[in-house]
C-alpha cells in the first residue's frame, strides 16, 4: 500500500484540471444526446480513465461529484456508484478502488438498459453471467411508460399476466398474495423492497429500479410461490451532484378530469462523508369510474454516512412513511342478458324445474321472479336443469365498462362510469419503515452487511358491492358493508458475509447469511354495523346473565354476537364480583382492578379484532459463485433452510378486557376456550420447516455470448394446516349428535382418517436453459431461455371426500343438504401443475439516442398434471366429473400462451424547427397477450363460451421535450395509455383502465 502524501501544488492543479475536463465531457445542455456512438464511447472511456486516475491519486475518498453523463439525460451517472469503497494493492503495487459486492454498478448502464442485478444472487452480479432469466426495469422505463403501481411492472414482461385488483384486495398473509399476478403461469408472492418482504404498499414513488427474477428464486429470498420474485430497489443518496427534480402531473380519463401528482426528488451532499436524499410524492387523482379516487402521500428519506477516510465502513439509514387510500372499482358489466329477459317473461320450462315452492304457488310467475330476482345462480341452475346439460357456462357476456339499467322512462341506458363499489368504499395502505444497513469491508477477502428493518403495515378495506337485480332497474347488496383489516409489526435482522479468495485457478465468492424475523400479526374480521352511536352494544355486558340476575341495558336489537366483539359469555366485573354494564365500563373504571378502557371501542366504527399470530422466521443460507477458465465459466450453488415457528393463533377477544396469552390452549382451562374463541385445532402451536436449492452454470462460448443452464427448487408452507382443514371439534360434536352419531366416535374416526395429518410443503421446481448475448459494440443485449416449471404438492379441496363426509350433511347417511361452510373441509396435497415455454428479452440500441426493448414468450404447455381430488370413482358426483373434465382440458388460470411487447424511444440530437427540436424524445409501445382463463370452473368454462381475459393489443406513447426558462431547465411530457381505448382484461373480471392522458411538467435545478 502506498503511503499517503501531502499533495504538491502541481498535484492540486492536475486534480482541478482532471475534474474540470471530466465535467466538460459529461455535461450536455438541455438533455441533448449525441448521435455518434463511437465518439461518445471514446469520450466515456476517457471519462472513466480520468476518474480512475483521480481515485488512484486521492486514495479511498468518496467519488467526485459530476454532472449527469451526456448519454443519460434523465438518469444518474451509472459509472459513479455510491458504495462502500476501499483501496486494494495489486501485484504490481498500484492502488485501485474496489467496490462493495453488495452494490449494483455497471459502466454500460444507461436509459432502459441495466446490466447488473443484486436480486438474483444477493450480491451485485453481471446479468450476463447469472444462469437465470432476469429482467430489470429502469427508472427511465417506468417514467416513459407511465407505470403507476405493481400491476404495471408486469405489463412489458414476457410470460406475465396481471390483476387489476392489486392494492384493492386485502392480502391475507405472506403466503397468500393479494391478486393473482403471475409469471410463467404461477403466482408471485415474493414482493420485496430492498430484498425484504413487502406485505403491502407496493409504491413506485421512490424506485430506482425494479428487478424481476422469473421462476423459483427462494434460495435467496425465502419461501415463495414458483412464479418468481419482484424486488423494488429504492433510490439512495449520491455523493455527487445530481439535479433536484420537481414535477407536477395531471391525469385525464376521457371526460373525467382531475388527477394531480406532485413529486420532489432532492439529493444533498454535505461532505465526502455524508449525503442525504429526500423523495416525496403527493397524490390526489381520480379514476375512470364515478367515485373512484387515489389520494395520499409518501415521504422517503435516506442518509448515507462514510465515517472513516478508509471508506471501509458505510452506514445507510432510511425512513419511509406512506399513506395511500383509493376507491377503485374492480368489476365490469358481465351479467347475462337472458337472465333479465327470463325475469320479465319467465319461461314455462324454467318454472317447471324450479321446484314445488314455485310450481305450487298461487302465482308461479310471481314466485319464479322472486326466486331469481337477486340470485343469478338459481337462474343458471334452472337453465341447466331444463336443458339437461350441467355444463352450461354462466358468465358468457362480453365484459364492458360501466353498467346497463332501465331509467325512469323504462328505457335501457348505458352508464359508462358506473361504480360497482359505490361511494364510501376504500382500500387504505399505511406503511412506516425504518432501516439501517451497515456495510463493512473488513478485509480484502471479507465483506459484511447487516440490515435491521422495522416495518409497520396496516391495510384496511371497507366496501359494499352492488350487483344488478333481475328487474333491470335496481342493484342490491350494497347496504351491507364488509370490513377487513390486517396489521403487521415486524422486526427483521439480516446478516450477509461475502468471502472472496482465488484457489486452484477459481475466483471464489461465498455468501453466507442468516435472517431473523419476528412479527406480530393482527387480523380484523368483517362486522356489519347496525348500531347507534356510541357503540355500547359491542362491549362485554351487552347480554343478560339470568343466573346472576343481571339484565343488560342494551336493547336486544343492538346486541352483536360477533366473534371478537363481546359475545354472550363476556362480562367485566368490579372488584366485588359485580357485573358492570357497558356504560359502567367507562363510568366506573377502577384503575387498581381494571384495564383502562379504550374509548375508540365505542366511538370508532372499526373491524372486530379476530385473532393474532406471532410467527418467528429463522433462516440461513450459503451461496457459492466460482469463476474459472479465464472468467469464461461461472458456476453457482445455493442452499437455504428456514423455519417458521408460531405459538399458535392468539385469539384476542375484545381487548383490552379479554386478551389471550401465548400458548393459550395450555394456559386457559378448556372450559373457557369458547369464551375466548379458541379452537383446539386452529389455535395450536405450529412449526414449519423447508429448504431450497439452486445450481447453475454459465459459459462464455465466444466473446459476449454465454449459454447457461440451471435447476432450482423452492417451497412454501401450505396455507392449510391439516388434511382435514382447521375443523372445530365442538362443531363436529354438535353435527354428529344432530344426525344421531356418537360425537366421540366421529372425532376419533376423522382423526384416524387423517384429519390431523399435517400437509407437506408445496414445492416449486424450475429447469431452465438459455443464451445471453451482448454485441461487441453493446448495441444489442438479450436473453433467450427455455423453461419447464412445476408446482408440486399443491393443497386443493378434495371435493369427493367432502361430499362423502357424514358430518357435512344435515341428515344421517348423507341425506338432506350439504352444509356450507363444510364442517370438515378435506384436502389433498398432491396436485401437480406444469408449464413449459420459451422467453425472449432484447435491448437494441442502434444509436445511443435510439432505444428499443422487445420481450415475448410462447408458453406451449400450462396444464394440471395430476389432482387426486378429482379422480373419477364409482360414486363420484356429477360436479366432480365436470370439474375433472374442466381441470384437465383447460389451460391454467392467468397463463397466456403468447405474449409480445415492444417499446422504442428516439431522441432528436439536432434542431429541426429553427432553433428548436433538439432533445425531443418520442416513444411508442405495444403489448399483446393471447387469450387466458380467468377461472377454471363451470361458470366460466371457456370451452363452453365462458368469459376470458387477454386477447388484446394495446398501444401507448410518450413525448418529452426539454426547454429552458429564466435559467431553469424544464421538461414537458405527454403520456397516452391505451391510445385506441381498447376494452380488455389483464387477468380478472375487472377491466384495465380505458384511454388516459397524463401531462407532466418537470423542473430541475
Per residue in 442-488, pLDDT (tens digit) is 999 999 999 999 999 988 887 777 888 899 888 886 545 677 788 88
Backbone angles phi, psi at 176, to 5 degrees: -125, 90
Please give the backbone phi and psi of residue 801, each rounded to the nearest 5 degrees, phi first: -70, -35
pLDDT digits (tens, 9 = 90+) for 49-70: 544 544 444 444 333 333 333 3
**Closest C-alpha among 319, 320, 318, 316 to residue 100:** 316
- Find out whether 785 and 712 touch, Cβ atoms under 8 Å: no
Q: What is the pLDDT of residue 90?
A: 40
Report, in angstroms and rounded to the nearest whole number, the Rg of the chain calculated over CA atoms. Answer: 31
* Cell 344435515 -> residue: 810
Answer for the pair 633, 131: CB distance below 8 angstroms, yes or no.
Answer: no
Query: What distances in angstroms separate CA 78 from CA 25, 53, 268, 299, 498, one per listed residue?
Result: 15, 18, 18, 25, 23
Which DSSP state fits 545?
Answer: B
Say how many residues make up the chain. Answer: 1005
**Secondary structure, 3-state, 485-512:** EEEEEEEEEEEEEEEEEEECCEEEEEEE
CA angle, 149 then 154 then 160, to 5°: 145
Rounded to whole angstroms, how far apart are CA atoms 310 and 442?
11
Q: What's the rounded Cα separation, in Å, for the pair 123 and 104?
A: 8
Give the span between the Cα atoms of 167 and 161, in whole angstroms: 16
Give the per-residue pLDDT at 78: 38
290 contact partners, CB below 8 Å, separation of at least 6: 417, 418, 419
**228-234/190-193 β-pairing:** parallel
Euclidean distance between the first and the last CA atom of the chain, given in angstroms as a whole number = 41
**Residues in Cβ contact with 448 at an 8 Å cutoff, skipping those fewer than 6 apart:** 438, 439, 440, 441, 442, 495, 496, 497, 498
Q: Which residues of the chain have pLDDT under 50?
A: 1-44, 46, 50-51, 53-98, 174-175, 479, 528, 530-531, 563-565
The Cα 764–Cα 970 span in angstroms is: 49
User: What distance in Å separates the CA atoms of residue 584 and residue 573, rounded to the nearest whole number?
Assistant: 10
**Alpha carbon distance 158, 900 (integer Å):** 7
DSSP 144-161: HTT--BTTGGGTTSTTEE
The residues near 830 (Cβ < 8 Å, ≥ 6 apart) are 793, 794, 866, 868
Judge if pTM exceeds 0.85.
no
What's the sign of the alpha-carbon dihedral 557, 562, 564, 568? Answer: positive
Amino acid at each position: 500500500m502506498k503511503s499517503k502524501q501531502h499533495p504538491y501544488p502541481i498535484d492540486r492543479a492536475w486534480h482541478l484540471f482532471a475534474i474540470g475536463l471530466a465535467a466538460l465531457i459529461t455535461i450536455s445542455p438541455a438533455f441533448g444526446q449525441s448521435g455518434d456512438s463511437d465518439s461518445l464511447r471514446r469520450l466515456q472511456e476517457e471519462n472513466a480513465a480520468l476518474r480512475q486516475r483521480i481515485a488512484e491519486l486521492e486514495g479511498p475518498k468518496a467519488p467526485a461529484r459530476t454532472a449527469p453523463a451526456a448519454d443519460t439525460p434523465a438518469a444518474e451517472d451509472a459509472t459513479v456508484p455510491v458504495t462502500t469503497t476501499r483501496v486494494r494493492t495489486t501485484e504490481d503495487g498500484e492502488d485501485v478502488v474496489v467496490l462493495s459486492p453488495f452494490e449494483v454498478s455497471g459502466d454500460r448502464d444507461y436509459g432502459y438498459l441495466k446490466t447488473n442485478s443484486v436480486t438474483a444472487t444477493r450480491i451485485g452480479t453481471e446479468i450476463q453471467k447469472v444462469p437465470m432469466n432476469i429482467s430489470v426495469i429502469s427508472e427511465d422505463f417506468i417514467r416513459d411508460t407511465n407505470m403507476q403501481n405493481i400491476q404495471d411492472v408486469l405489463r412489458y414482461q414476457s410470460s406475465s399476466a396481471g390483476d387489476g385488483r392489486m392494492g384493492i384486495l386485502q392480502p391475507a398473509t405472506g403466503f397468500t398474495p393479494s391478486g393473482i399476478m403471475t409469471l410463467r403461469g404461477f403466482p408471485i408472492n415474493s414482493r420485496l423492497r430492498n430484498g425484504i418482504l413487502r406485505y403491502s404498499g407496493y409504491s413506485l414513488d421512490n424506485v430506482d429500479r425494479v428487478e424481476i427474477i422469473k421462476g423459483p428464486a427462494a434460495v435467496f429470498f425465502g419461501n415463495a410461490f414458483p412464479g418468481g420474485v419482484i424486488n423494488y430497489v429504492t433510490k439512495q443518496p449520491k455523493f455527487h451532484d445530481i439535479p433536484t427534480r420537481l414535477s407536477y402531473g395531471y391525469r385525464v380519463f376521457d371526460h373525467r378530469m382531475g388527477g394531480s401528482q406532485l413529486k420532489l426528488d432532492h439529493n444533498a451532499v454535505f461532505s465526502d462523508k455524508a449525503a442525504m436524499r429526500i423523495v416525496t410524492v403527493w397524490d390526489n387523482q381520480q379514476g375512470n369510474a364515478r367515485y373512484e379516487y387515489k389520494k395520499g402521500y409518501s415521504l422517503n428519506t435516506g442518509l448515507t454516512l462514510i465515517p472513516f477516510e478508509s471508506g471501509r465502513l458505510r452506514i445507510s439509514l432510511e425512513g419511509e412513511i406512506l399513506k395511500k387510500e383509493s376507491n377503485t372499482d374492480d368489476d365490469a358489466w358481465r351479467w347475462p342478458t337472458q337472465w333479465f329477459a327470463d325475469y320479465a317473461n319467465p319461461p314455462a320450462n324454467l318454472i317447471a324445474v324450479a321446484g314445488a315452492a314455485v310450481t305450487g304457488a298461487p302465482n308461479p310467475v310471481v314466485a319464479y321472479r322472486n326466486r331469481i330476482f337477486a340470485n343469478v345462480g338459481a337462474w343458471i341452475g334452472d337453465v341447466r336443469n331444463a336443458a339437461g346439460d350441467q355444463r352450461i357456462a354462466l358468465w358468457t357476456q362480453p365484459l364492458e365498462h360501466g353498467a346497463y339499467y332501465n331509467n325512469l322512462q323504462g328505457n335501457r341506458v348505458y352508464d359508462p362510469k358506473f361504480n360497482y363499489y359505490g361511494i364510501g368504499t376504500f382500500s387504505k395502505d399505511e406503511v412506516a419503515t425504518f432501516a439501517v444497513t451497515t456495510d463493512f469491508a473488513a478485509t480484502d477477502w471479507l465483506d459484511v452487511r447487516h440490515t435491521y428493518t422495522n416495518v409497520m403495515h396496516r391495510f384496511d378495506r371497507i366496501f359494499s358491492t352492488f350487483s344488478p337485480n333481475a328487474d333491470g332497474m335496481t342493484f342490491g347488496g350494497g347496504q351491507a358493508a364488509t370490513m377487513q383489516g390486517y396489521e403487521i409489526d415486524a422486526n427483521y435482522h439480516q446478516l450477509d458475509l461475502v468471502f472472496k479468495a482465488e484457489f486452484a485457478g477459481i475466483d471464489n465468492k461465498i455468501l453466507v447469511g442468516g435472517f431473523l424475523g419476528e412479527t406480530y400479526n393482527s387480523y380484523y374480521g368483517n362486522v356489519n354495523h347496525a348500531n347507534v352511536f356510541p357503540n355500547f352494544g359491542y362491549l362485554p355486558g351487552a347480554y343478560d346473565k339470568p343466573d346472576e340476575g343481571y339484565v343488560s341495558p342494551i336493547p336486544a336489537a343492538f346486541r352483536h354476537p360477533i366473534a371478537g366483539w363481546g359475545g354472550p359469555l363476556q362480562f367485566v366485573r368490579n372488584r366485588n364480583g359485580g357485573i358492570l354494564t357497558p356504560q359502567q365500563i367507562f363510568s366506573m373504571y377502577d384503575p387498581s382492578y381494571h384495564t383502562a378502557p379504550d374509548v375508540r371501542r365505542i366511538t370508532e366504527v372499526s373491524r372486530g379484532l379476530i385473532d393474532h399470530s406471532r410467527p418467528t422466521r429463522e433462516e440461513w443460507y450459503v451461496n457459492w459463485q466460482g469463476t474459472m477458465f479465464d472468467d469464461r465459466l461461472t458456476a453457482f450453488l445455493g442452499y437455504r433452510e428456514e423455519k417458521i415457528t408460531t405459538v399458535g393463533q392468539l385469539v384476542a377477544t375484545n381487548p383490552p378486557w379479554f386478551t389471550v396469552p401465548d400458548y393459550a390452549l395450555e394456559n386457559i382451562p378448556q372450559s373457557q376456550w369458547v369464551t375466548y374463541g379458541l379452537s383446539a385445532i386452529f389455535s395450536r402451536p405450529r412449526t414449519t420447516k423447508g429448504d431450497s436449492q439452486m445450481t447453475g452454470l454459465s459459459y462464455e462460448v465466444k466473446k459476449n455470448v454465454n449459454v447457461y443452464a440451471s435447476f432450482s427448487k423452492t417451497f412454501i408452507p401450505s396455507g392449510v394446516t391439516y388434511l382435514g382443514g382447521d375443523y372445530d371439534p365442538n362443531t363436529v360434536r354438535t353435527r354428529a349428535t344432530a344426525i344421531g352419531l356418537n360425537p366421540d366416535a366421529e372425532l376419533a374416526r376423522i382423526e384416524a382418517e387423517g384429519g390431523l395429518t399435517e400437509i407437506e410443503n408445496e414445492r416449486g421446481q424450475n429447469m431452465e436453459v438459455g443464451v445471453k448475448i451482448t454485441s461487441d459494440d453493446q448495441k444489442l443485449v438479450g436473453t433467450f431461455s427455455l423453461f419447464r416449471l412445476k408446482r408440486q404438492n399443491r393443497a386443493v379441496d378434495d371435493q369427493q371426500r367432502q361430499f362423502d363426509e357424514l358430518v357435512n350433511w344435515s341428515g344421517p347417511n348423507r341425506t338432506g343438504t350439504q352444509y356450507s361452510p363444510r364442517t370438515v373441509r378435506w384436502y389433498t396435497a398432491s396436485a401437480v401443475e406444469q408449464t413449459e415455454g420459451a422467453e425472449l428479452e432484447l435491448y437494441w440500441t442502434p444509436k445511443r439516442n435510439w432505444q428499443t426493448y422487445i420481450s415475448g414468450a410462447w408458453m406451449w404447455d400450462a396444464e394440471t398434471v395430476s389432482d387426486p381430488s378429482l379422480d373419477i370413482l364409482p360414486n363420484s358426483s356429477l360436479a366432480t366429473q365436470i370439474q375433472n373434465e374442466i381441470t384437465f382440458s383447460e389451460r391454467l388460470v392467468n397463463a397466456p400462451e403468447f405474449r409480445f411487447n415492444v417499446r422504442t424511444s428516439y431522441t432528436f440530437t439536432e434542431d429541426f424547427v429553427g432553433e428548436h427540436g433538439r432533445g425531443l424524445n418520442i416513444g411508442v409501445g405495444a403489448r399483446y397477450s393471447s387469450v387466458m382463463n380467468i377461472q377454471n370452473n363451470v361458470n366460466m368454462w371457456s370451452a363452453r363460451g365462458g368469459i376470458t381475459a387477454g386477447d388484446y393489443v394495446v398501444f401507448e406513447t410518450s413525448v418529452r421535450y426539454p426547454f429552458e426558462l429564466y435559467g431553469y431547465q424544464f421538461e414537458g411530457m405527454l403520456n397516452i395509455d391505451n391510445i385506441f381505448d381498447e376494452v380488455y382484461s389483464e387477468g380478472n373480471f375487472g377491466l384495465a383502465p380505458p384511454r388516459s392522458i397524463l401531462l407532466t411538467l418537470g423542473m430541475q435545478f
